[in-house]
Structure 1
Amino acid sequence: MTQKPTLLVLAAGMGSRYGGNKQIDGFGPNGETILEYSIYDAIRAGFGKVVFIVREEILEVAKEKFLPKLEGKIEVDWVIQSLDSFVPEDLKQSDRVKPFGTAHAVLCAKDAVKEPFAVINADDFYGKEAFEVQAKFLTHEVKPELHSMVGYAIQNVLSENGTVSRGVCTTNEKGQLIGMIERTSIAREGDRIISRGEGEVIEIAENTPVSMNFWGFHPAVFSDIEAMWKEFLPANLENLKSEFYIPTVANNLIQEHKAAFEILPGGKTWFGVTYTEDKPVVIDSLKEMHASGEYPKKLWN
């Protein structure tokens, strides 16, 4: 019997630019969070378990929000990401307040996940097609040396209310990921898409694939992440704002020829809430999807 993949949800971050905890804010017609749509899409795509990665202080609030809706529909587990997780006593930074980033969050789930798994942000709407292609990949194609990422065309993942940061991808002739650079201060300027971060002005082609943090992994990746984490910690001991990111892990695995990453073509629909002003757009989009029958009148019965 084929093992159903697991959905790993990154829900420990704080929405600093948004101005609230957008992971548990309501956007759907019945007050549904964005994450509920991802879980709904994951269930109908064939995922068997969802694992929430949260901070200790929001654990109970998250349980109250999600457990009553998910009971009997999908297996649920919880993982805490703290500043002490996987940090030896002699490498603890007593003054640190910022979490260690997305790859550290994934590492925190090492003991909770034994099957192929996807990783998503809690506050991004990815669309049902993304979950369908990822579930198919994780069920039939994933290997210890072959992982995946759902690609989104940059033209479809901008905000009208300010600049965004995106992982801009470079691909080979097979359409596989060969590198990713985090570009900041990206916005549409006239008929061009421009990044003005890092002191340079770069034009990005409309259909360039970018990462919206929807990854697919074989569980063998946990040992690779842990090995990189053990190098990252001592090297960044003096930097209290340093973060250990999933794209860093992907780039290292590719450069060291340890693994390849398929870019899956499921990124048809995306929206998210980077700024408070993005909220009405998300609310209207979800309302239209319910009206068209993409989602039932109520997500959960």
Structure 2
Amino acid sequence: MKPTLLVLAAGMGSRYGGLKQIDPIGPSNETIIDYSIHDAIAAGFGKIVFVIREGFEKEFKELFNAKLAGKIEVDYVNQEIAKVPEGASFTSDREKPWGTGHAILMAKECINEPFAVINADDYYGVEAFVSMADFLTHSNSEQEYAMVGYKLANTISENGYVSRGVCVTNEIEHLETVIERIHIERLPDGIAYKENDKWIPLAEDTTVSMNFWGFKPQLFNHLEDQFRRFLVEAGQELKSEFFIPSVVAKIIDCDNTSVKVLKSDAQWFGVTYREDKEKATKAILELVEKGVYPSKLWES
């Protein structure tokens, strides 16, 4: 059974100032998602599921259905604030999406096979998809997950702060926990994160999660249980978020589940800020010039 790729594309792009998910960066107007899907198909994934928002569903489908017709099976699910478990409550003033854990939960009804999760606005590198496809294809345990880990220095934006899941691993490169740091910057004297108005340094080779995960379908049961508890504890807050790294950390603590860290030395890049687009465009052009990608990705 071929694994599925779940693409989280429902973000509002508040720091970017628009729908970065479909903003072209390639020489033939390709988006970052195009390159991820191209790599996934080459690595052996059999289906793509997009998590999007109802507000741009028509535009999004028109763009990707045409490109991917005949190349891979495609499905879509919507992430909306009101999509919560029956009986759960939250503040009616809520405008911010619930976060990555909730986004993955939206795909519960259409994924029954091992699957990977990525962000729509991140470039992960060819070898990351090969490693993840190999893991998902050959891992037989429902209680074995995986994560592609990147060096922190390869993931920092030059244009503002970023959020990263800082990983703690054991001697056999299995994840022990993930600590979400929501304000990390490169300062004049090195990389640091901000907490309670204090800067705390982080080593450049710190392993971080860029939300490239490999899961088995039983994850959805964990997500549903934890999201219910999250809504009880934080559902009345306006900006609380249900992060997938936090979900995984709790699963490791409370369940007999292991998470293998597939380390990558690749230069990650994304488009958190509008200013990041120039760097991403240049990086893709360099990959095209090296022959990693054709200048027209979907020409064939």
Q: TM-score by structure 2 length? A: 0.96
Hey, what does 1:207 align to over in structure 2?
Answer: 205
Contact kept in structure 2, 1:129 and 1:267, CA below 8 Å: no
Partner of 2:261: 263
Counterpart selection for 2:17 from 6, 16, 19: 19
- Taking the TM superposition and a 5 Å limit, the aligned residue runs for 1:112-151 are 112-141=110-139, 143-151=141-149
Deviations 1:90-131 (A, max 9, x none): 525322211111111111100010000000000000111110
The SS at the match of 1:173 is: coil
User: Which of 180, 188, 194 is equivalent to 2:192?
Assistant: 194
Change in CA separation of 1:44 and 1:198 when aligned onto 2, cut-off 3 Å = farther
The alpha carbon displacement at 1:191 in A equals: 5.2
User: Residue 267 of structure 1: CA displacement?
Assistant: 4.9
Distance 1:217 1:250 in 2: 10
| 1:71-98 CA distance string (max 9 Å, x none) | 0000000001112223325525322211
Q: Which amino acid aligns with 2:66?
A: P
How much has 1:156 moved relative to structure 2? 0.5
**8 Å Cα contact 1:51-1:79 kept in structure 2:** yes
- Alignment check: 8 A CA contact 2:179 2:246 kept: no
Q: Would the aligned equivalents of 2:91 and 2:237 in 1 still touch at CA under 8 Å?
A: no
Structure 2 CA distance, aligned partners of 1:163 and 1:241?
Answer: 18
**Which runs of structure 2 are paired with 1:19-168 in the superposition (5 Å)?**
19-89=17-87, 91-141=89-139, 143-168=141-166
Deviation per CA, 1:185-236: give whole Å up to 9, x if none. Answer: 3222345222223333211112110010101001111111111112112222
Q: Which runs of 5+ in 1 are unaligned?
A: none
How many residue pairs were aligned?
Answer: 299
The one-letter code of the counterpart of 1:179 is T
Aligned partners of 2:207, 2:88: CA distance in 1, in Å?
41
Distance 1:90 1:162, change over 3 A: closer
CA distance in 1, matches of 2:205, 2:6: 28
Please give the alpha-carbon distance, in whole angstroms, between the structure 1 residues aligned to 2:98 and 2:182: 19
Structure 2 gaps, min length 5: none
- Cα distance in 2, alignment partners of residues 184 and 273 from structure 1: 16
1:90 and 1:73, CA in 2 relative to 1: closer, same or farther beyond 3 A? closer
User: 1:249 corresponds to which residue?
Assistant: 247
The verdict on how the C-alpha distance between 1:172 and 1:252 changes in structure 2, with shifts beyond 3 A counting, is same
Aligned residue runs from structure 1 range 175-194, under 5 A: 175-190=173-188, 192-194=190-192
Deviations 1:38-94 (A, max 9, x none): 000000000000000011111111101111000000000000111222332552532
What amino acid maps onto 1:221 in structure 2?
L
**Residue 276 of structure 1 corresponds to which residue in structure 2?**
274
Q: 1:257 to 1:89 in 2, by over 3 A?
A: closer
Counterpart residue type for residue 251 of structure 2 = L
Moved over 4 A (4+): none
Q: In terms of mean alpha carbon deviation, does 193-202 or 150-159 score higher?
A: 193-202
AA of the residue aligned to 1:131 = F
Which residue identity is paired with 1:70? L
Percent identity between the two aligned chains: 52
Task: Report the TM-score, using the length of structure 1 for normalisation.
Answer: 0.95
Do the aligned partners of residues 207 and 105 (structure 1) sit closer, same or farther apart at CA in structure 2, a change above 3 Å counting?
A: same
